[in-house]
Amino acid sequence: MRIISNSEEETFAAGEQLGKKLSRGNVVLLTGDLGAGKTRFVKGIARGLGIREWWKIRSPTFSFRQSYTGEIPLYHFDFYRLKDIYDFETIGIDPLDLEGGVVVIEWGEKYAQQLKNFFDKKIYSVKIEILDENRRMIEITEEMEEF
Ligand SMILES: Nc1ncnc2c1ncn2[C@@H]1O[C@H](COP(=O)(O)OP(=O)(O)OP(=O)(O)O)[C@@H](O)[C@H]1O
Ligand SMILES: [Mg+2]
């Protein structure tokens, strides 16, 4: 599915729509240049999931991971600075811990194949392309377990 967003509010709304469809164990990988709107989209996902503190969401660039509680918890990662994807424990990824929630990873596409093997779950890929100052092209694809 492709959407043209004309504002950060529209990107938030697109995230919110996706958030309403997600269920436990789903993984969302976000791709797009710096400032594309990945974190705005994640905020929308959080609100769609019913996370009360959705407004607190910002890029967890220095911690790699932030968790938000809710009926379905949200685990938000940013792999921009990540060098070694294999060292999952140091960044706090244990799929057994994360199974009960929704996992959202900014810059996750860098490691898409490893993540797919690792999580072995339904994965949504969200690509955000900067068209101009306020416009973005958002492409959402849903991938099932068999790749
Ligand atoms: N249509 C749009 N959708 C989303 N953000 C937009 C849009 N138009 C302008 N912006 C601006 O682009 C910026 C997006 O910031 P955001 O932190 O969400 O990007 P990001 O992709 O997470 O960046 P980073 O890679 O640094 O984490 C904000 O400053 C926002 O106001
Ligand atoms: Mg971000």
Which atom of ligand 1 lies at the shortest distance from residue 61's CA? 27
CA 55 – ligand 1 centroid, Å: 15
**64 and 82 Cβ atoms separated by less than 8 Å:** yes
Domain map of the chain by residue range?
A: 2-101+111-143
- Prediction pTM value: 0.91
With a 6 Å cutoff on the Cβ, whether 60 touches ligand 1 is no
Per-residue pLDDT of the chain (147 residues), as tens digits, is: 999 999 999 999 999 999 999 999 899 999 999 999 999 999 999 999 999 999 999 887 666 778 898 889 999 988 887 776 666 666 667 777 778 899 999 988 777 777 777 776 678 999 999 999 999 999 999 876 544
Q: Can you list the alpha helix ranges (DSSP code H) found in 2-146?
A: 8-21, 38-49, 95-98, 112-119
What separation in Å is there between the alpha carbon of 78 and the centre of ligand 2? 7
| Residues, CB within 5 angstroms of ligand 2 (ion) | 38-39, 59, 106
Does the domain made of 2-101+111-143 have the CATH classification 3.40.50.300?
A: yes
**Separation of CA 105 from chain center:** 4
Q: What gap in Å lies between CA 84 and CA 107, rounded to an integer?
A: 13
